[in-house]
Amino acid sequence: MRTRMRGFTVVEMTMAIAITSIIALAVVGAGMALSSAYAHSQDYSQSIQTGRVASLKIQSTLRMAKLITAAGGHGDYKLVAWAKDPNGDSKINVSELAMLTCDPNAQVIVEHTVVFPTPALATLLDSTVLLETAMDVTAVQTMMEVTYGAYHRKEVLADRVISADISVDQPPPMTRMVKFQLGVGDSNRSITLYAGGTLRADMTSHVGMSGGKYVLNTTTVP
């Protein structure tokens, strides 16, 4: 007796195609979700690493600073430091200042400095800054970005910064310790990093008052 072979009906074929399509879409969707989650995890890890590197950089600047001349602000904060005195003249020069700023819109922390490409240019252009001027954030920013704009250097220390705050033990220029916190990540996932630094070779003992203004007394500096 011969067995009759029965093929698929149109309805069965349509259902098979529909089921296969649903499974394929589910697999593709799961793959895309996993890929997106992995990319987000990588971005988050990178943000944390960048934040930690920035914290170390800021701590290093604070430890080596001679004076903190300006600090403050929540979110959109700025900090100005007399970061170094390589020529040992105990005077604040333009190239010795460092300004840290946090831009909440761009979500970055930036270090601003003035760098002269040659010693000859430094000798010619690097000028002395009064302590009163170094305590004025707007004046320092204008000096770096406008007056010395050709030699103004901006280094992004951290990105994806969603919050930032700093606190000091005493108002500048008598600050000896700075604490700061950085919130890095995004609105869905973030981490707050805490750090701080103490000035090791500070010049606070050489800061005095004259005419109601802070001045740097260099005559007693050895």
- Residue ranges per domain, the chain? 36-216
Residue 101 DSSP SS3:
strand
19-to-7, 13, 14, 16, 26 alpha-carbon distances in Å: 19, 10, 9, 5, 11
Cα 178 to the center of its chain, rounded Å? 15
**pTM (predicted TM-score):** 0.76
What digits encode the pLDDT tens for the residues 165-221? 888 889 999 999 888 888 887 777 778 888 888 887 678 889 999 888 999 987 644
The single-letter DSSP state of residue 78 is: E
pLDDT at 39 over 60: no
What is the percent of the chain where pLDDT is above 70? Answer: 78
More confident call, 82 vs 43:
82
What digits encode the pLDDT tens for the residues 22-31? 776 666 655 5
